[in-house]
Chain A
């Protein structure tokens, strides 16, 4: 058992080893968030389609992502797809794919809810005031949709960032794995995991805090 806190020299190596892991975590989270937003729009539009088959497919996608734990999907894609389909992934790619598929349904449900709850009267009132279609979108529809979707989407982003830590189980070198490598070398698990705990909190808390603030402010306004 070593000292709880590393000396100043070790700090340097801790930072140099954790930094790439942190970047990789943020990279995976950002890529899956972009995928989720794009997929979410598709999901929302398809869920409101006239074609029952398309709606059923979206419903099955949602239920599959919700019922089966994310880690199981991660394992299936990372270990399974190379065998079944002959496609070989890097761990990061598998993670981005799975998190993107999952995030698409979560973001998609947010978009779908906003579209369904959209007050038609707003549109008609704006048209009565003589606003052009472009002006209605610019000044009425888009601000309303932003208010309804941005706070929950920020929560989806927080969950995505937390979820990136799962990739350690398919041996991607992200923040958690980088920390583990330092521990294997230096044997100071409490300090490093404590540091990771704080790091994740520092990344996620501002997001969920802002989400809460925006939600309260925009609900009143």
Chain B
């Protein structure tokens, strides 16, 4: 093992971790927004909007992320839309994650009693106020572990965006192996980076679930 060489690669891996967290973080944020809006819309609107959202959920959940990425990155140029890989990555992850978050929040809403919103309307609160102050705090609190688990899942899926040349950890690794033929060193760096990022995340998630269950 060439330690000197590995040390020289550390800056590359630090920026790769940065890219991974930036892409994953942006996707988690946007997907949370989509999930929040869609789950609220699912509560009471026209059957048409409900059907559209439900179809979106099924499509996003039943197709692989990598194909979604390829469609955006390699497919869209055919109709004249050329997007940078990082943007495609955030879009695909948001598309997939939005569906998962919508499901998580929908489950939270369906656990709430119908009378909650009726009581709220009877008190004179508007629809927005009912969602903002009565329903969402409960949904959020109830679904916090599931939300956190989905966010972690989305961050792990970020490794897949290496397929469209986003310079995150996996891409840096395959690229490095291809250029230097130092498989051993790059695999070690990949493992260290991923353990550094994902193990603390996983421990934090377990802590959250544990504490939430005992509250």
Of A37-45, A116-124, A191-199, the segment with at least 4 beta carbons within 8 Å of chain B is A191-199
A193 touches B191 (CB 8 A): no
B78 touches A1 (CB 8 A): yes
A190 touches B61 (CB 8 A): no
Residues of chain B within 8 A of A169, CB atoms compared:
66, 160, 162-163, 170, 174
B76 touches A190 (CB 8 A): yes
B71 touches A190 (CB 8 A): yes
Residues of chain A at the chain B interface (Cβ within 8 Å): 1, 4, 63, 66-72, 75-76, 79-80, 83, 158, 162-166, 168-169, 176, 180, 183, 188-191, 193-194, 196-197, 200-201, 204-205, 208-209
Interface of chain A, main secondary structure: helix
Q: Which of B28-80 contact A (CB under 8 A)?
A: 58-59, 61-68, 70-71, 74-79
Identify 12 new A-B residue pairs, CB closer than 8 A, beyond the known A75-B174, A166-B160. Answer: A69-B160, A69-B198, A72-B159, A79-B187, A165-B66, A166-B64, A176-B70, A190-B74, A197-B71, A205-B62, A208-B58, A208-B61
Chain A residue, CB-CB nearest to B163 = A169
* Chain A CB within 8 A of B148 CB: no
Residues of chain B at the chain A interface (Cβ within 8 Å): 58-59, 61-68, 70-71, 74-79, 156-157, 159-160, 162-163, 170, 173-174, 177, 183-184, 187, 190-191, 194-195, 198-199, 201-202
> Given A68-B198, A80-B187, A169-B162, does the pair A189, B62 have CB atoms closer than 8 Å?
no
B163 touches A189 (CB 8 A): no
A68 touches B78 (CB 8 A): no
Alpha-carbon separation in the docked complex, A169 to B67 (Å): 12
B190 touches A75 (CB 8 A): yes
B202 touches A158 (CB 8 A): no
Question: Nearest chain B CB to A75's CB is how many angstroms away?
Answer: 7
B78 touches A188 (CB 8 A): yes
Alpha-carbon separation in the docked complex, A205 to B202 (Å): 30
Alpha-carbon separation in the docked complex, A63 to B173 (Å): 24
B67 touches A176 (CB 8 A): yes
Residues of chain B within 8 A of A4, CB atoms compared:
78-79
